[in-house]
A and B are shown apart, each in its own frame.
Chain A
């Protein structure tokens, strides 16, 4: 597994842990929703770095009141055809105002990369046998977007007004 962040391959400083036993050894754990719920009291009483991983059927609304506690939200694509995490990422950015890292994990393929970026993902856990160049290329393939997204790229509707010298 490799991690892409800000267009570069970086070392992953986070560790996804499966059970409470592993917490002791992990300085930057990403926990499951179940573990978070079981240990919420303990987690809320510290400021140690924490991330959480949500399955595709687990809504961010379930942790909306605790988002300030997490630096990383890992959203799962169990199969790349399961598109629920796209909506979850947008809700996290646009409704809940989450500013930390939103990471795509699971079946993450380069042809979905630009969609993910537009929905607010800024980190991607990928199979390490694919070259980085391919991922960078994928990001540059489409530069024009009709609709507003969560990544701040200007949609065509607004660009057109600017081109015509109209106020936004």
Chain B
């Protein structure tokens, strides 16, 4: 993984001291809240419903054990002993005090972490595929480019006051595990006809009030042109994005109103002046960053792992866990272990500081010191020897981190919602909790199979409900919580936005409604079809009828 050099260290330390000065001036009254707000947002500090909230960047979802231990330390020392992993691979702490935040940032800097630009109208954390570097179908590791983009976008003097926030995602394979089509810019690593590696560029996807699947505005961009092309795109947006209406300020609105072809032409025109200039990426610079992500040599192991097989045969719980939480690795003898942060009745994505420390220990001992955060609010240990999997499982199970539900109905994505968030209209966490309790029977969960439920507490869609197989959106109807349900959304390479299944449902009726929808799927499915597969075949009508007929 990337290691800071003297320049990275200097920048982060200077940034901490700068923010320390800004907090001091705020507390002395030399800065009003209006003047201070964009500054604190640029360091990831929100003012939420009950308290401040600090959003710590985990670049492309990759962490070392030392870094995870620091997150645990911050949660324990400055907060309430837990943190929340988000759909953008970041960590949120819900209860920091304003005066403590500079010290927290200073602590983070000692382990090469920060909270720079995790909020505000700036370029945010660049996310990537959480299986980067270990997935068999990868063309190149997307984190190389996510790191290059991270540096280019950090404290970018021209793009620190954009019309609105800006989110970039990179996927390293044709299978899109980074949801690039619902990002402001999505990059897909690909090869051209000559076999040269470059990017397809998608611009103008997004969720929220006006969800859109982004069009591809450039089929192939050579690697060396990555930063100059991004700069051209951001400049067009900075100059032409709407600044009169908060809800129409994202780049997706601009792309949609101009049309993809016209927008692309404007970017190309701006790019004419920028390409082949100081932003051109030299091959040796790419190689330099690439070297950080090259894995240390794997042990040469057999494909078979007798201890694992014996346990799988003899222990039904372990077998069930292997089926969902253990993925194959491109290296023989290794596996990818998924750590579920979705226990029954739990808040999705939350981990206590004790749990974070346990995951750190396991990573250091068994996973070559690396942890990944997915955008579905779980963690992964990407490099575990199959022989070590039984020991890892036992340790995870003892810590409440081995719920065997990755990708199943209880593996729900939910934003913090009205329990925590200033922007929310309705709660999301208890909706998720009740669903996991209704569907607690693991055999039933396995029978239902792959299904992604995604819950957002408001139209800002931090729970990614538009791309849930079942999407649930909380709305406020006369001060009461209601929920719109959508079906058939998907965040992968066949991205789609969900279809509304009917009028909004009251809080007390959501669990029943979801159960009816799931039962409808079970009754209609053909051999081995997933929920999404059945929905795509039979359409909305049977689900609509089942839900309305029941009332």
The answer to whether B238 and A87 have CB atoms under 8 Å apart is yes
Known contacts A111-B39, A142-B14, A148-B279: A86-B158 contact under CB 8 Å: yes
Say yes or no: A87 contacts B158, CB within 8 Å.
yes
Which listed segment binds B: A6-14, A25-33, A114-122? A114-122
Within B102-159, the residues touching A (CB, 8 Å) are 121, 151-152, 154-159
> Is the CB of B276 closer than 8 A to any CB of chain A?
no
* Chain B: interface residue total (CB-CB under 8 A): 37
Distance of B156 from chain A, by nearest CB (Å): 6
* Interfacial residues of chain A within 129-160, with CB under 8 A of chain B in the complex: 137, 141-149, 155-157, 159-160
CB atoms of A84 and B239 under 8 A apart:
yes
Distance between Cα atoms of A86 and B237 in the complex (Å) = 13
Given contacts A81-B38, A81-B121, A111-B35, contact A144 B161 (CB under 8 A): no
Q: Are B151 and A146 in contact (CB under 8 A)?
A: yes
The 8 Å CB contact of B238, one of A83, A95, A137, is: A83
In the complex the two chains form, is A119's CB within 8 Å of B157's CB? yes
Cβ of A23 within 8 Å of any chain B Cβ, yes or no, is no
Q: How distant is the Cα of A157 from the Cα of B239 in the complex, in angstroms?
A: 27
- Chain A, 46-103, CB within 8 A of any chain B CB: 59, 80-84, 86-88, 90, 94-95
- Per the bound structure, the CA–CA distance linking A147 and B162 in Å amounts to 17
Is the Cβ of A141 less than 8 Å from the Cβ of B21? yes
Q: Is A109 an interface residue (CB 8 A)?
A: yes
CB distance from A122 to the nearest CB of B (A): 14
CB distance from A166 to the nearest CB of B (A): 8
Asked if B14 contacts A82 (CB within 8 A), the reply is no
Chain B residues within an 8 Å CB radius of A148 = 278-279
How far apart are B286's CB and chain A's nearest CB, in angstroms?
11
Number of interface residues of A (CB under 8 A): 38
Which residues of the partner chain B approach A160 to less than 8 Å between Cβ atoms? 5, 7
A167 to chain B, nearest CB (A): 11
User: A81, A95, A149, A166: which contacts B157 (Cβ < 8 A)?
Assistant: A149
Given known A111-B39, A115-B160, A146-B152, contact A84–B238 (CB-CB < 8 A): yes
Contact A82 B161 (CB under 8 A): yes
Shortest CB-to-CB span from A84 to chain B, Å, is: 6
Residues in B whose Cβ lies below 8 Å from that of A88: 239
Q: Cα distance A80–B243 when bound, in Å?
A: 12
A83 and B154 contact, CB distance less than 8 A: no
Q: Please tell me if B11 contacts chain A, counting CB pairs below 8 Å.
A: yes
B158 near A119: Cβ-Cβ < 8 Å:
yes
- Residues B151 and A156 in contact, CB atoms below 8 Å apart: yes
| Residue from A90, A114, A137, A142 within 8 A of B11 (CB atoms) | A142
Contact B156 A80, beta carbon cutoff 8 Å? no
A82 to B243, Cβ gap below 8 A?
Answer: yes
Which residues of B, 66-122, contact A by the 8 Å Cβ criterion?
121
Interface residues of A (CB under 8 A from B): 59, 80-84, 86-88, 90, 94-95, 109, 111-112, 114-119, 137, 141-149, 155-157, 159-160, 163, 166
Using A90-B158, A146-B154, A156-B7 as known contacts, list a sample of 15 further A-B pairs with CB atoms less than 8 Å apart, ordered by residue number in A: A80-B35, A80-B161, A82-B161, A83-B159, A83-B238, A87-B238, A111-B22, A115-B155, A142-B155, A145-B11, A146-B7, A146-B11, A147-B279, A160-B7, A166-B284
